[in-house]
Structure 1
Amino acid sequence: MRLVFGAAWMGLCVAGACAQGSELLVVNQGDSDVSFVDAATARQVATVAEGTPGIHGHEIAVSADGRTAYLPIYGSSGVGKPGLSGRTMLVIDVPSRKVVGKVDFGHEVRPHQPVLDPASGLLYVTTELDESVTVIDPRTLKIVGAVPTGQEESHMLVLSHDGRLGYTANVGPGTVSVLDMAERKTVAVIPVSRTVQRISISNDDMLVFTSDQAKPRLAVIDTGTKTVKGWVELPGLGYGTASTRDGRWLLVAVPGAKVVAVVDLSSMKVARTIAVPAMPQEILVRPDGLVAYVSCNTSGKVAAIDLLGEMAQWKVESLIATGKLADGLGWAR
């Protein structure tokens, strides 16, 4: 039975299972702050300022216990564009909603995406201007190493589920770097397109996905052969992607078309699209697999898609008002 808040179901309680006590964190580039959204009520309950207006973060990661968030401060512009470049990462205490620490990378590096590895306990942050992924011990907040990517604009990072391999989407070069995270070296560089954006990995670690920014299609990379094995045609240029918990579907943000495309991973074709507000960017599937959150950049909203039931039933059940240019998403349980 679905739970109802007031006159309308808010989209975050599905089949009686609520995300009580959990929060969705949303990075708002335009406001240079982070929204804290109560997942059970789908309402913004607080914001944390990043400190310097116009110098903002893009992406965020949250520790497994949900108590600490890591927010690299990228700069004043987008990837490959002129502007001020960041050199720090903020550490936010989630329960108190306060900035409690900072990591200084020592020089301007445009730090972008943080990824926590449950296997090693390490925190990885893409550092574009160094053409590397910086390795941080989150317990001490000390930089303990770096993994070279061999490419410029290594913007986004995803890890295999055992933490052994990393894959970066290198925007300007249009490539994907394969990284040995333990040996801290580049294993391969995979040519994809003229330009790429965003990256994700399948639940079984066999496939990596990145969106071609020259043609409306998604690259499907075979992690065994380290080559592009095929393409999925999209209704527009793709952006962020995320697999559903059961591994059957891949959700793809398509900003220009204002939709999320649902890709059937058995046929590698778009099975349907879901309308969302303008400029969908990033997709986060809630850990219980029942809801997908989609940051809609120019709308300043996050769309919550109900993933209960058959794919044909999926739809936006609530729109969460956050801040200007909503982008990166994190989940604090």
Structure 2
Amino acid sequence: MKSVFLRVVLMGVVTSFAYAQKNSGPMLLVANQHSQDISLIDTGSGKQVATVPVGGVTGHELATSPDGKTAYVPIYGNAGVGRPGTDGSEISVIDLPSRKIVGKVEFDHGVRPHCAVYDKNSGMLYVTTELDKTISIIDPKTLKIVGTVPTGQEQSHMLVLSKDGRRGYTANVGPGTVSVLDMVGRKTLTVIPISGNTQRIAMSNDGSMVFTADQKTPRLAVIDTATNKVKAWVDLPSAGYGTAPTKDGKWLLVTMRGAKQVAVVDLKTLKVARTIDVGDGPAEVVISEDGKKAYVACNFSDQVAVIDLAGWKMETLIAAGKFADGMAWGQ
């Protein structure tokens, strides 16, 4: 009887140890465009621990549920924004604990769904649907489309929401504009001209500024959300792409794909304070919950760069899938 008890205890210890080894840090999810899957990266060990096929041609971006257990991956298609190719018409829903697709959101025509944002205020999932010039509103409980918000522009590629979920801002790539959206009233408030082409979008922590990168000139547009006008431009060493503010709200990280660098912008002076070398083709950037590290998806080197935000230097490069792109935090 004693030996049986010991075996049970030991099995429990081994199981707990294995679980701890498997989940030694927060889980970073990475959408890999060309390998058509998502990487599950254990940030504690700095290694990819699994991949999950997304069930479609290509998923560029993804979002997770508030509990971090479900991922939503829009299936965009096999082309870049504004280019000829297939038009995706669904979103894959992935259960992260089982690492399986457990559902689909289906559109009745091709819409090229791209950027997904889970709004904790309304409990709704918002997804940019480029070909319809809208943001689609999805109920995550039923996986049904329950409404839309018009953007009034072609190629509404990326979306950022205010903290209260009442305002939305889209980067409209080809038109080079930003649409300001009333997410509650489901209407476009205004369209802000930026450039002949713009990419990605982010908001300052206090909600006072929105940032998007000019693709014609190496500079960043800074939009005043009180006036919905461009209030300043930040000159960059190279063309910018993705952006993310640090947790303390003092700095904005800007990826520069051609330079293989991340620029660090001082949000008081709106000047570049320093640059950090990373992998090839840095695109999207996310900040860890504790604010100590930044993770940068590097498209061309199929890696995720880890930046120490205290020392302002790259710590390591983590292998991901082919053309690592959109990222989100999961469990």
TM-score when scaled to structure 2? 0.92
Q: Does 1:106 align with 2:108?
A: yes
Equivalence for 1:9:
none
Q: Deviations over 1:78-113 (max 9, x none)?
A: 100000110000000011111110000111000000
Assess if the C-alpha contact under 8 Å between 2:36 and 2:53 holds in 1: yes
The correspondence for 1:134, drawn from 133, 136, 148, is 136
Equivalence for 1:13:
none
SS in 2 for 1:86: coil
Residue identity in the other structure for 1:319: L
1:159 & 1:332 partners in 2: Cα distance? 20
How many Å apart are 1:38 and its aligned residue? 1.0
% same residue: 62
How many Å apart are 1:59 and its aligned residue? 0.2
- For residues 138-287 of structure 1, the aligned pairs below 5 Å read 138-287=140-289
Aligned residues: 309
How many Å apart are 1:163 and its aligned residue? 0.3
How many Å apart are 1:324 and its aligned residue? 0.8
Q: Deviations over 1:224-282 (max 9, x none)?
A: 11000010000111000000000000000000111000000000000000000110000
The correspondence for 2:51, drawn from 47, 52, 60, is 47
Assess if the C-alpha contact under 8 Å between 2:218 and 2:235 holds in 1: yes
Equivalence for 1:295:
297
1:289 & 1:231 partners in 2: Cα distance? 26
1:232 & 1:157 partners in 2: Cα distance? 21
How many Å apart are 1:286 and its aligned residue? 1.1
- For residues 10-159 of structure 1, the aligned pairs below 5 Å read 20-52=24-56, 55-159=57-161
Provide the aligned C-alpha RMSD in A: 0.9
2:157 & 2:105 partners in 1: Cα distance? 19
Residue identity in the other structure for 1:285: I
SS in 2 for 1:129: helix
Q: Deviations over 1:282-309 (max 9, x none)?
A: 000112111100000010000011113x
1:136 & 1:84 partners in 2: Cα distance? 22
1:241 & 1:37 partners in 2: Cα distance? 21
How many Å apart are 1:328 and its aligned residue? 0.4
2:54 & 2:249 partners in 1: Cα distance? 35
SS in 1 for 2:300: helix
2:104 & 2:43 partners in 1: Cα distance? 27
SS in 2 for 1:257: coil
How many Å apart are 1:21 and its aligned residue? 4.7
Equivalence for 1:332:
330
1:255 & 1:291 partners in 2: Cα distance? 20
How many Å apart are 1:173 and its aligned residue? 0.4
SS in 1 for 2:149: strand
Gap runs ≥5 in structure 2: 1-22
Equivalence for 2:316:
318
SS in 1 for 2:258: helix
Q: Deviations over 1:115-149 (max 9, x none)?
A: 01111111000000000000001111111000000
2:24 & 2:127 partners in 1: Cα distance? 30
Residue identity in the other structure for 2:136: T
Residue identity in the other structure for 2:112: R
2:166 & 2:289 partners in 1: Cα distance? 22
Assess if the C-alpha contact under 8 Å between 2:156 and 2:171 holds in 1: yes
How many Å apart are 1:22 and its aligned residue? 2.2
TM-score when scaled to structure 1? 0.92
SS in 2 for 1:236: coil
Assess if the C-alpha contact under 8 Å between 2:178 and 2:194 holds in 1: yes
How many Å apart are 1:51 and its aligned residue? 2.7
How many Å apart are 1:218 and its aligned residue? 0.2
How many Å apart are 1:20 and its aligned residue? 3.7
Residue identity in the other structure for 2:209: L
SS in 2 for 1:272: strand
Residue identity in the other structure for 1:25: L
Residue identity in the other structure for 1:264: D
2:228 & 2:197 partners in 1: Cα distance? 18
Q: Deviations over 1:175-202 (max 9, x none)?
A: 0000000010000100111100000000
